[in-house]
Amino acid sequence: MDKLQPVVYITRIECFSACHRLHSKLLSDTENKSIFGKCDNPNGHGHNYKVEVTVKGKVDPITGMVMNIHDLKQYIQEAVMTVVDHKNLDQDVPYFEDIVSTTENLAVFIWKSLEEVLPPGMLHKIKIHETEKNVVKYKGEFV
């Protein structure tokens, strides 16, 4: 029998600033205002987001690492930061052209973006702090 190897989780935290407007094209202006309130401001509003990217894997017996944290930082920079930092999510990120730029949808977008550049099976969780009190977690699950 093979010796079992531990699975270890590592998390890299990055921060970015972006603005958006919570507004659905599928709803009337009245419905949008009723559902999203002040977050439906036509001029948008901004956040200083904190995103936590967690990957998992076996500890390499030679390097002692699941993944080089510098490499993880580069993946996040390439797939996330260059796309969303200091951007208007609704106008500058094509993904949100027809998708409401809620933090929930932002978490899914970040997952999909990182899944394209990370080694297969390593991505474990995306956690976004929109504010100190509002946090969203996504683990790539679909129902």
Residue numbers annotated as active site: 39, 86, 130
Backbone angles phi, psi at 104, to 5 degrees: -60, -50
Q: Are the beta carbons of 90 and 101 closer than 8 angstroms?
A: yes
Helices (H), 1-143: 29-36, 69-76, 82-84, 89-92, 103-115
